[in-house]
Amino acid sequence: MNIAPEYESPRLSAIVADGTPRYLETVRDVLDFHDIVDLVGRAANFEETIQLAGNIRPDLVLMDIEMPSAMVAIAAILTTAADVQIVGMFAGCIPLDAAGLVLSF
């Protein structure tokens, strides 16, 4: 007998930021497979990342920390959209995998 009420966790919105189109597609495929995060934007560089984070205000920004000027983007996002959570990844990691979670701001 199940006495716990049914609970559906709220979906999160996310932007993925990476300069490699193939990696962007891989992250999208992983997010689609797990079906817990809505991908609401993709950015190929730090300028696009800052603009999307400010305009969309997603719950998460999944960012390749090896992307040129990634730290500039992180600082700008934390200044202009402090409620956005940033998860730093590096090439070869799959997001939402404990090994891939390297930084969280």
DSSP assignment of 34-66 equals HTSEEEEEEESSHHHHHHHHHHH--SEEEEETT
Position 103 scores a pLDDT of 45
The more confidently predicted of residues 27 and 43 is: 43
Place of tokens 């999208």: 28
Distance from C-alpha of 83 to C-alpha of 8, rounded to nearest angstrom: 23
Contacts of 82 (CB under 8 A, 6+ apart): none
pLDDT at 33 over 50: yes
CATH topology of domain 12-104: Rossmann fold (3.40.50)
- Per-residue pLDDT tens for 87-96? 988 765 544 4
Position 40 scores a pLDDT of 94
Position 101 scores a pLDDT of 41
**Interval 9-25 mean pLDDT:** 85
